[in-house]
Amino acid sequence: MTAPAADLDLSHIAPRDQAEILAQALPYIRKFHGKTLVIKYGGNAMTDPALQQDFAEDIVLLKLVGMNPVVVHGGGPQIDAALNKIGKKGQFIQGMRVTDQETMDVVEWVLGGEVQQDIVGLINAAGGKAVGLTGRDGGMIRARKMKMLDKDDPSIEHDIGQVGEIDSIDPSVVKALQDDAFIPVVSPIGFGEHNESYNINADVVAAKLATVLQAEKLLMLTNIRGVLDKQGELITELTARRIDELIEDGTISGGMLPKLAGAIDAAKSGVNAVHIIDGRVPHALLLEILSDQAFGTMIKSH
């Protein structure tokens, strides 16, 4: 997974076209220079070796042209694979993973160990300087046990174990790394008042971190083209009100719910743009940030 970065082969593109491509990127490089971009890394982009390579190169390039990428990663499939190895089946309620103590132990070593270090290695092999963090590092993510009410009967509360809600995020360790030209890679694990660990939805962590860092953009890589309507067509722009309507009529459900809830909160809290983009597209990050092509759904606060 940490193979040396391959040089981009541009031999099929005429030199004049190469120059044109670079020139078109210039306004975006200027616009976002010095700005923080929080990127939620998940889906196929995390499991397909060619897309992993593209992602690492994109992150390094963004850093080299003066932007400040911060990566927050998930790891659902990797957690499921690890649980299968110990004969344990993952259980979900309303899109959230039920996390007992044994599952939490697995989550910590998969996310904070294996997955995080793979991403750090990929970025470093591509020429960057990545550093892995969990919510414990620098006291970054303080959390409490999530109370989950049944969506059909709010008088019923589901116990989903060590799944956390964020109390607060202290971004000082992330800022210190950014100032030293490092690329932070954050695992979505928080800690409680008694030093207990909490599994937190990575979309929620990315959205909250983007808000606290006053990020210019929050970009969420996913396995679909973006938010789709009932006919399966891409919705390129969404507002909070429209999202409520789509949840109400069942167009949006399951794992997309926490993703969109976090996106709306971030947009309302000052993050200039939130994008849900198709991580299956090679170099999706560069295409979204350095061109005027729309590769997914943009969410605005109103």
Binding-site residues: 75-76, 97, 199
- Host H or E run for residue 39: strand 36-41
**Gap between the Cα atoms of 165 and 15, Å rounded:** 51
| Cβ-proximal residues to 242 (8 Å cutoff; 6+ apart), any chain | 235
Annotated binding site for substrate: 75-76, 97, 199
**Phi, psi at residue 167, to the nearest 5°?**
-85, -50
Nearest to 111 by CA among 72, 137, 163: 72
Q: Is 282 exposed, middle or buried (0-12, 13-18, 19+ CB in 10 A)?
A: middle
**Using an 8 Å Cβ cutoff, are 134 and 198 in contact?**
no
Q: Which conformational region is residue 29 in: left (phi greater than 0), alpha (psi within -120 to 50 degrees), or beta? A: alpha
Say if residues 137 and 116 touch (Cβ distance below 8 Å).
no
38 close to 204: Cβ distance less than 8 angstroms? no
Q: Which segments of the chain does DSSP mark as H helices, in order?
A: 15-32, 44-47, 49-64, 76-85, 101-109, 116-125, 172-179, 202-212, 240-248, 256-268, 284-289
SS3 67: coil
